[in-house]
Amino acid sequence: MTLALFDLDNTLLSGDSDELWIDYLSQRSAVDSKRYRKNYERLKQEYANGQLDIKEYLSFALTPLRRATHKTLIQWRREFLRSHIIPVISKQARSLIASHKTRGHKCVIVTITNQFVSESIAAELGVDALFASVPEMQADKFTGQIQGLPCYGEGMILRIEKWMRETNECFKDSYFYTDSHNDLKLLCKVDNPVAVNPDPILLQVACENSWPVISIGKNTAQQSLAVA
């Protein structure tokens, strides 16, 4: 079956789900807004420069999950989806996924954003599968650590290839939509790479290789942190 792979943040979403999650938690006084914003902006710039320390980023992103019960987190996530995520899902994003499904393609989201935050978004978008960074749980509580390989860079590709071996899928005729130059390795794996709201580096590479460049939603320039 033909695969249609999608980055999540600033690709299918007109915004960054991790950043929006921080905003939501700040509104509930569940995190120190000023401190988290400062750290996020630093990590965001490191990502834009292609210098992100993935372990540091995931430690930053997963720490808030340790501070509440799973029941509370589920309630917060439900509210977060309604108040912060659904408003940034554009008609273009939903139509793009629908067009691939109409052609019988398997739609898959690949994102660095942790699975707890991203799985409800994937369900809202109606995709067939999700690759995300998996937060570790012990005794029904998040530990703040990551389980297995982060869904980023080489780890993302290794996880996808393992899944392909297990499900008899392949990259033949596949698509990948993303906004970030940090996803170039995966873009070069598929037969149909597509730059969506691309950052400057990805835009240059796309033009040099005659890849399609498209715009989805309102955010056409902001650099995303949480990518595939």
Catalytic site positions = 7, 9
Place of tokens 């990948």: 176
Tokens for 38?
Answer: 């400062």
CA-to-CA distance for 3 and 218, rounded, in angstroms? 26
DSSP lists the bridge partners of residue 205 as none
Angle at which helices 70-80 and 115-125 cross, to 10° = 40
The alpha carbons of the chain give a radius of gyration, in whole angstroms, of 17
SS3 of 15-29: the string is CCHHHHHHHHHHHCC
Distances (CA, A) of 179 to 2, 103, 134, 218: 21, 23, 22, 13
> Cβ-count burial of 43 within 10 angstroms (0-12 exposed, 13-18 middle, 19+ buried)?
buried
CA-to-CA distance for 44 and 127, rounded, in angstroms? 27
